[in-house]
């Protein structure tokens, strides 16, 4: 679109607009999914304490994985298959370690809160935090890496698109994995 001879909507704006539209749509889907599944959350006291931290953690960890990969792709630092393989292996291990450690800490905090403030001992909160994060990571890590490469291959800027995409996709997958693991362990 041109106004007075100047471009007002350019490629970057279109990419960012699309990714934000995706984020809003995914947020509505994730919220609707969560609303429909609140009955299963009533089984375990403290799950709502755990839930926001888990969602935020997934977005941060996979967002930073995508950002590191995007930066190296845009700078042309990953050209050989060995470099790509090494980078992916190292970053997947780091992301998985962070995910495991922070999930444990979030589960422990949730457990301690329920224990001291509600007087209920429910150590299954720690297991739910760990197992739901591990389950979702098997989907989110490959999708984050694949989507970043796919967007870069199609001449789009992954830095504009991947942040909202990873957050939205991570929220939906995290909600589903939390519900699945809660159903199994509760």
Give the model's pLDDT for residue 132: 92
C-alpha distances out from residue 32 to 13, 37, 132, Å: 28, 9, 19
What confidence score (pLDDT) does residue 93 get? 93
Q: Mean pLDDT for each 10-residue chunk of the chain (186 residues)?
A: 56 75 79 68 71 84 88 80 83 91 93 87 89 92 91 84 84 85 82
What three-state secondary structure class fits 3?
strand
Nearest to 22 by CA among 170, 132, 124: 170
Asked if 137 contacts 99 with a C-beta cutoff of 8 angstroms, the reply is: yes
What CA–CA distance (Å, rounded) separates 38 from 51? 12
CA distance 72 to 49: 36
Please give the pLDDT value at position 122: 83
The predicted structure's pLDDT at residue 86? 86
The DSSP secondary-structure symbol of 116 reads I
Query: What domains can you pick out in the chain, each with its CATH number?
Result: 51-185 (1.10.357.20)
């Amino acid at each position: 679109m041109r106004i007075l001879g100047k471009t007002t909507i350019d490629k970057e704006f279109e990419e960012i607009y699309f990714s934000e539209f995706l984020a809003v749509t995914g947020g509505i889907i994730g919220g609707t999914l969560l609303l429909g599944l609140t009955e299963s959350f009533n089984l375990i006291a403290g799950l709502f304490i755990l839930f926001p931290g888990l969602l935020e953690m997934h977005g941060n960890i996979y967002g930073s994985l995508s950002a590191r990969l995007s930066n190296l792709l845009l700078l042309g630092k990953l050209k050989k298959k060995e470099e790509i393989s090494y980078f992916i292996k190292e970053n997947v291990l780091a992301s998985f370690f962070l995910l495991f450690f922070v999930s444990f800490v979030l589960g422990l905090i949730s457990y301690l809160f329920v224990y001291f403030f509600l007087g209920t001992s429910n150590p299954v909160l720690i297991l739910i935090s760990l197992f739901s994060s591990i389950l979702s990571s098997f989907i989110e890590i490959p999708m984050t890496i694949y989507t970043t490469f796919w967007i870069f291959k199609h001449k789009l800027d992954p830095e504009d698109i991947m942040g909202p995409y990873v957050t939205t996709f991570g929220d939906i997958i995290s909600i589903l994995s939390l519900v699945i693991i809660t159903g199994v362990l509760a």
